[in-house]
Every structure is written in structure tokens, then in C-alpha cells.
Structure 1
Amino acid sequence: MRRTIVDLLQRNAEHAEAFRSRFDDVQESQRPDAVTVCCSDSRVLQDHVWGNDEPGKLFTCGNIGNRVVQRTEAGEAVSGDVLYPLEHTGTDVAVVVGHTGCGAVTATYEALTDGVSEPAGIEHCLDLLKPHLEAGVEALPDDVDRAGAINRLVEYNVDRQIELLRDSDDVPEGVDVVGAVYDFQDVYSGSRGEVHVVNVNGETGVEALREAHPEVEDRIERLWEY
């Protein structure tokens, strides 16, 4: 067997030993505090981002491009991965987390600007991003470099996913939706690995957000207020 699998199983044995008694209260049901939608990029450690090691606390969804929608015969709909905890476990907070240097956003940008294509499975995922990012690509500042364009589109994509959640009749009333960007490239002003809030219930203005949420004002930051 590949050494990678052996190493994974050894680490799982350590996990099982440490977590042996931590499932007692959640064996039969779950009531997570929030559902998080992160990019499945290997550099984004969904639970570790929040310092979480408590089973049942977070309902974590991951896909390339931190998308909240899937395509159905009736058109786009909020993905069941995201909707399930909002509908069935009493979860009333949804957090969409993009990240600096996102490969899915980069691939979408290249597809929209240079016509670059991908294998069918990846292309399907990008096709769910393209219509929501196209206007953002067109609105990019003329003087921004490629890396700057990508990271601005990361924010733009988070905004569009928040918009999709807010516009959906399937998302229960009273759910708070928050957009954020995880930075491991020193793009924002905080420490590497920090999450920066960029959108709360559709509000994207930095000053307005800081005034409304003074308890986290130092974590509210955007690269692009378009």
C-alpha cells in the first residue's frame, strides 16, 4: 500500500484515540452553529481555520470555488450540501469563505479572458462560476496586475455566492450569511492565515460593516469596493 495511505491511517489512529469520548453528545443528532462553504483547496484547512476540534460544531462543505449552487433540471438551486443544515438542524449562520490565489477563480478568469478550457468535470464546475464572475472580470481596474485581478475576483465571487443565498426562497428567513476571505499570501493587512470579513448579509461597504460590527472591525477588510 502507498505510504501516503499508511501515514493517513496512522494519523487517524491518533485522532481516534484523542476523540474517543468527544462524540458522546452528538452520536444521534447534530445542531451545528454554522455551515461553512470553503474552497476544497488543500491549503484551506476548514476546521483549523476556526480553531475547531469539536464534533458537531461546524457543518463543513467544500468544492472548488466555494460555490453555494448546483444545477438542476429547473435551473440553479442552492446546493443540498449547504441547504441541509439550514433546513434540518436549526443552523442559522452560513459562512462563505474564499481564499487568496484561488485556482478555481483563476481558471474561470482565464476561461473568460483567454478561452482556456478544462476537462469536462472541471469545466462543469467553472460553468457554475462563469455567469456570476463575468461582470466582475469586465469591471476590473485597468491598472491591476494578474494576481491583483484574481484576488479581487475572489472577493467578487464570495459576494455573488452570498447574493445567491440571500435571493433563494429555499434559505429560511433569519439566516445570517457572511462572506470572508482566508489569506495565506499576505495580501491583506493582517497576519498570514487570518480570515477577513468582506460581506455581511449583502453589505460590502467596509466603513458600513465596521460601524455595524465594531466587535470585529479589525477583521473587516476588502481589496475592492466596486
Structure 2
Amino acid sequence: MQDAVVDLLDANAEHAREFAGRFDDVQDAQRPAVVSVSCADSRVLHDHVWGNDEPGRVFTCSNIGNRVFQRVDGEDVVSGDVLYPIEHTGTEVAVVVGHTGCGAVTATYDAVQGVLDEPAGIARCLALLEPHLAPGVDALPDDLGRAERINRLVEYNVDRQVDLLLASDDVPDAVDVLGVVYDFQDVYDGARGEVHVVNVDGETAPEAIREAHPALAHRIGRLWTDE
């Protein structure tokens, strides 16, 4: 462990040298344009996904399954880490970032199938996802392999998180909500590491998104188009 920690501290020293002058405008306040909600996965370098090297530009939060909600008194509500920048810093764009080969989606898929053997803390997170993903598991085409089923469920999960944001009274109507999938497994057409837009404000039909948002047209890609 010590070698790993030394490596981290050395990398942080380089970060401090590089970023020393970039905090002047944000030392006392922040007004990020975007809140980005990603899955907690070591292969998803959240800020790097967006090419972000500017403090105060993107408010990032990560968790198992890129969830935008938590359960309070039996009700699903928008998580505080997602809601904070919307409520307090004027952020008007929310992006849900799923990724190919998602372990949380895979485990939830297995849980829906009745196969689950995880410690209590992980099981609790999967239990939050399960009721939202179960209808998608039932709707999957029968002729797909396991990896194909998981990657379609990744999109389905992103869609459900977008829906939860759009349905919440805590999220103003003026907030734009985008759902994307980060691909490092060469599942979509495009370069490895690209983000593919699968949902804009609840619209999932690629042609409809292209028509409404022509600037996004070349970044739209979706596996599951017949929900």
C-alpha cells in the first residue's frame, strides 16, 4: 500500500504545481455550469471524460450505478450531492453518465434473476436500483447475449435516472437533463472513450433528438431504440 500512496502523493504534488493559479476565481464560491453524475468505477475518470481541468466548471459526483436518488422515509428523492449545485450554485444542466460493462448494472441484473451474494453495503445500493431496472430486465429481447443485455440495461438505467430528475419537484423545469453512456469497450460506433448521448430531457428516440438538437447529432448513439 505504501508504494501506491507515495505514487498518489507524488501525482498530487504535480497537480498542485500545475493548478496553483487556477483557483483564484473560485476560492470563495462556485458556479458550475453542469452537475455530472457518474458511476463509481476506476475506469471512468470522471473529470477526464469531459476534458475538465478548470476548477469550478463541473460539479462531479459518483456512486454505484450513477444514481441520482436516495431513499428517505421510503420515498425516492433526488440525492443531496446531485441537488446541491442545482439548489445553491445556479447549475442548470444535469448529466447522468452510465458506462459500458457497468458492474452495478450487472449485479442488479443478477439480483433481479435471484442471484445476489454481496456484502450488506453493496446489496443496499443494488436494492435501490433493482425496482427501477426490473422492468427493463423483463423487456430485454431473448436473443441477446449477456454482455449485450447488460449494455442495453446501462441505457435503461440512465433513462430511469433522467426520469427521476425530470419528475422531481426539487429540480426546476429550466434545468436541462442529459443521459449519456461512456464507452471504453468498443460497443458503440466511435472512438474508445467517447460519450454517446442516449437521452435528452426524457426523449430517447435518436432521430427526434437529432431533429431537436442538431448540434448533438454526431454524438447520438443508442443500442435500445424500441422500448
Match of 1:13 in 2: 13
* Equivalent-residue separation in structure 1 for 2:74 and 2:189 (angstroms): 43
- 1:207 corresponding residue in structure 2: 207
Distance in 2, Cα, partners of 1:26 & 1:131: 40
Look up the equivalent residue of 2:111 and give its one-letter code: A
Q: 2:168 aligns to what?
A: 168
Q: Deviations over 1:44-95 (max 9, x none)?
A: 0111011110000000010010000011125111000000000000000000
Write out per-residue CA displacement over residues 146-205 of structure 1, whole angstroms, 9 at most, x where no aligned residue.
000000000000000000000001112200000000000000001100000000000000
Map 1:72-111; keep pairs closer than 5 Å: 72-111=72-111
- Which stretch of structure 1 is more off in the superposition, 148-157 or 65-74? 65-74
What SS class does the counterpart of residue 76 from structure 1 fall into?
Answer: strand
Aligned residues: 226
Separation in structure 1 between the aligned mates of residue 205 and residue 134 of structure 2, nearest angstrom: 21
Q: Which residue of 1 aligns with 2:41?
A: 41
Matched letter for residue 84 of structure 1: Y
Distance in 1 of aligned mates of 2:19 and 2:163:
37
Q: Mapping of 1:188-203 within 5 angstroms?
A: 188-203=188-203
Answer with 189-198 or 73-82: which moved more: 73-82
Gaps of 5+ in 1: none
TM-score (norm 1): 0.98
1:115 alignment partner, SS class: coil
- CA drift at 1:221: 0.9
Q: Which structure 2 segments of 5+ residues have no match?
A: none
- Amino acid across the alignment from 2:56: G
Partner Cα distance (2:28, 2:209) in 1: 38
Question: For 2:32 and 2:48, how far apart are their aligned partners in 1?
Answer: 16
- Post-superposition, which runs of at least 4 consecutive aligned residues in structure 1 deviate over 4 A? none
**Does residue 1:71 correspond to 2:67, yes or no?**
no
Residue in 2 aligned with 1:53? 53
2:200 paired with 1:216: no
Q: CA RMSD in A?
A: 0.8
Contact in 2 for aligned 1:68/1:164 (Cα 8 Å):
yes
Within 2, Cα distance between the matches of 1:24 and 1:218? Answer: 36
Deviations 1:3-24 (A, max 9, x none): 1001100110000011111000
Contact 1:87 1:172 in 2 (8 A): no
**Structure 2: distance between partners of 1:25 and 1:121:** 39
Tell me the alpha carbon deviations over residues 73-130 of structure 1, each in whole angstroms, 9 at most, x when there is no partner. Answer: 2511100000000000000000000000000000000111132231100001001100
Name the CA distance, whole Å, in 2 between partners of 1:101 and 1:114: 20
Please name the residue that 2:29 is paired with.
29
Measured in 1, the distance between the counterparts of 2:98 and 2:25 equals 31
